[in-house]
Amino acid sequence: MKRRLSMPIVIVVLAAIAATAVTALLVNIFTRQQEARSPFYRVVELNDETVDPAVWGKNFPLQYDSYRRTVDQVRTRYGGSEAVPRTPTESDPRSIVAQSRLEEDPRLKTMWAGYAFSKDFREERGHAYMLDDQTLTERQQVTQQPGTCMHCHGSVYVPYKKLGGGDLMKGFEAMNQMKYQDARKLVDHPVTCIDCHAPDTMQLRVTRPGFLEGIKKVKASQGIADYDVNRDATRQEMRAYVCGQCHVEYYFKGPEKRLTYPWDKGLKADEILAYYEENGFKDWTHAESGAPTLKAQHPEFEMWNQGIHAKSGVACADCHMPYQRVGAMKVSDHHVRSPLLNINRACQTCHRWSEDDLRQRVQTIQDRTFQVRNIAMDALIALIADIKAAQAAGAADPALEASRRHQRRAQFLLDFIEAENSMGFHADQEAVRVLALSLDETRRGQAALPGSRASAGAQTIMKTP
Select the span of 4-12, 42-50, 268-276, 334-342 touching other proteins (CB under 8 A): 4-12
311 binds other proteins (CB under 8 A): no
Q: What is the phi/psi pair of residue 328, to 5°?
A: -85, 0
Minimum distance, C-beta of residue 13 to other proteins, in the bound complex (Å): 9
231, 235, 352, 453: which one contacts other proteins (CB under 8 A)?
352
CB-nearer residue toward other proteins: 36 or 389: 36
Cα 329 from Cα 37, distance rounded (Å)? 9
143, 349, 364, 374: which one contacts other proteins (CB under 8 A)?
349
In this structure, the number of other CB atoms found within 10 A of the CB of residue 150 comes to 25
71 binds other proteins (CB under 8 A): no
What is the three-class DSSP state of 42? coil
Minimum distance, C-beta of residue 70 to other proteins, in the bound complex (Å): 22
Q: Kindly state the number of chain residues that form the binding site for other proteins, as judged by CB under 8 A.
A: 30
Q: What is the phi/psi pair of residue 97, to 5°?
A: -130, -175
16, 44, 71, 385: which one contacts other proteins (CB under 8 A)?
16
DSSP H/E element including 85:
strand 84-85
Burial profile 426-439: b = 16 or more Cβ within 10 angstroms, e = fewer: bbbebbbbbbebbb
Select the span of 6-14, 61-69, 140-148, 399-407 touching other proteins (CB under 8 A): 6-14
Cα 262 from Cα 67, distance rounded (Å)? 30
Select the span of 10-18, 84-92, 144-152, 165-173 touching other proteins (CB under 8 A): 10-18
374 binds other proteins (CB under 8 A): no
What is the three-class DSSP state of 330? strand
2, 325, 453, 463: which one contacts other proteins (CB under 8 A)?
325
CA 420 centroid distance within chain: 8
143, 147, 288, 328: which one contacts other proteins (CB under 8 A)?
328
99, 332, 348, 363: which one contacts other proteins (CB under 8 A)?
348
308 binds other proteins (CB under 8 A): no
CB-nearer residue toward other proteins: 18 or 382: 18
Detail the DSSP E strand segments found in 248-347: 251-253, 258-260, 284-285, 292-293, 323-326, 329-332
CB-nearer residue toward other proteins: 109 or 345: 345
2, 3, 4, 231: which one contacts other proteins (CB under 8 A)?
4
8 binds other proteins (CB under 8 A): yes
Select the span of 303-311, 349-357, 398-406, 414-422 touching other proteins (CB under 8 A): 349-357
Select the span of 206-214, 347-355, 430-438, 441-449 touching other proteins (CB under 8 A): 347-355
Cα 284 from Cα 411, distance rounded (Å)? 13
Q: What is the phi/psi pair of residue 235, to 5°?
A: -60, -40
Are 358 and 347 contacting, i.e. CB atoms less than 8 angstroms apart?
yes
CB-nearer residue toward other proteins: 349 or 371: 349
Are 191 and 243 contacting, i.e. CB atoms less than 8 angstroms apart?
no
Strand pairing category for 251-253 and 323-326: unpaired
CB-nearer residue toward other proteins: 334 or 406: 334
Cα separations in angstroms, 57 against 20, 82, 197, 263, 451: 37, 28, 13, 36, 66
Select the span of 19-27, 200-208, 394-402, 413-421 touching other proteins (CB under 8 A): 19-27
Contact code string over 27-46 relative to other proteins, x by CB under 8 A: -xxx-xx--x----------
Q: What is the phi/psi pair of residue 79, to 5°?
A: -155, -150
- Angle among Cα 57, 62, 66 to the nearest 5 degrees reads 90
Binding site for other proteins (CB under 8 A): 4-5, 8-9, 11-12, 15-16, 18-19, 22-23, 25-26, 28-30, 32-33, 36, 324-325, 328, 330, 344-345, 348-350, 352
